[in-house]
């Protein structure tokens, strides 16, 4: 009689809680990474967000909890494509109870996923691989999530203070070295 091997669940956690947390709720990370297949076999291509960001800007892209439109938790301060992917800088609204809970979970390292909500405007399927290359997307929202579809889409730091200077330095270096 053959016995099936037990199912092993792979888990990835932050090696330690995200550092640099204080009371303002500012955080940054990558909501999407170019050229990497997500768990649904979608691959976002460089430039996919360009038109949407020109049309909408960061102010019109919602910051939600778990893609739930009934749970806005803050606002995006900056959303930009760089060479790696879709870099985001957001601020949790700590006057909102849910946002305070999420902030505490981020500080503890328990929640660090980011996920995009969008409408596909142009994509192409690759029959041999089964991948769908997303070439143009209409970005509606970016959520903080427990389990992101793209495992590498994560909050990198929960910041305090001088985020504008860091954003300016980053955008200038992208222009200089791109």
**What are the residue numbers of the active site?**
67, 115, 141
> In 3-state terms, the chain is what percent helix, strand and coil (to 5)?
20, 40, 40
For residues 22 and 104, give the distance between their C-alpha atoms in angstroms, rounded to a whole number: 10
Closest residue by Cα to residue 144 from 78, 71, 50, 80: 71
Total residues found in the chain within this entry = 178
- Region class of 95: left (phi > 0), else alpha (psi between -120 and 50), else beta: alpha
Rounded (5°) CA angle 120-122-127 = 100
Extract the runs of DSSP E, i.e. beta strands, from the chain: 26-33, 42-44, 62-65, 68-81, 85-92, 113-126, 131-145, 155-159
For residues 59 and 108, give the distance between their C-alpha atoms in angstroms, rounded to a whole number: 28
């Amino acid at each position: 009689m053959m016995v099936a091997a037990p199912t092993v669940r792979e888990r990835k956690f932050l090696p330690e809680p995200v550092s640099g947390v204080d009371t303002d709720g500012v955080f940054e990370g990558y909501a999407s990474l170019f050229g990497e297949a997500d768990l649904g076999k979608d691959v976002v291509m460089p430039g996919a967000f360009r038109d949407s960001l020109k049309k909408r800007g960061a102010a019109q892209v919602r910051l939600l909890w778990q893609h739930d439109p009934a749970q806005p938790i803050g606002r995006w301060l900056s959303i930009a494509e760089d060479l790696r992917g879709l870099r985001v800088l957001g601020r949790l609204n700590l006057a909102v109870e849910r946002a305070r809970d999420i902030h505490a979970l981020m500080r503890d390292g328990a929640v660090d996923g980011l996920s995009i909500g969008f409408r596909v405007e142009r994509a192409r399927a690759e029959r041999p691989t089964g991948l769908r290359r997303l070439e143009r997307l209409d970005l509606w929202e970016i959520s903080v999530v427990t389990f992101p579809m793209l495992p590498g889409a994560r909050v990198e730091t929960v910041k305090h203070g001088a985020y504008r200077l860091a954003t300016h330095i980053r955008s200038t270096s992208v222009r200089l070295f791109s």
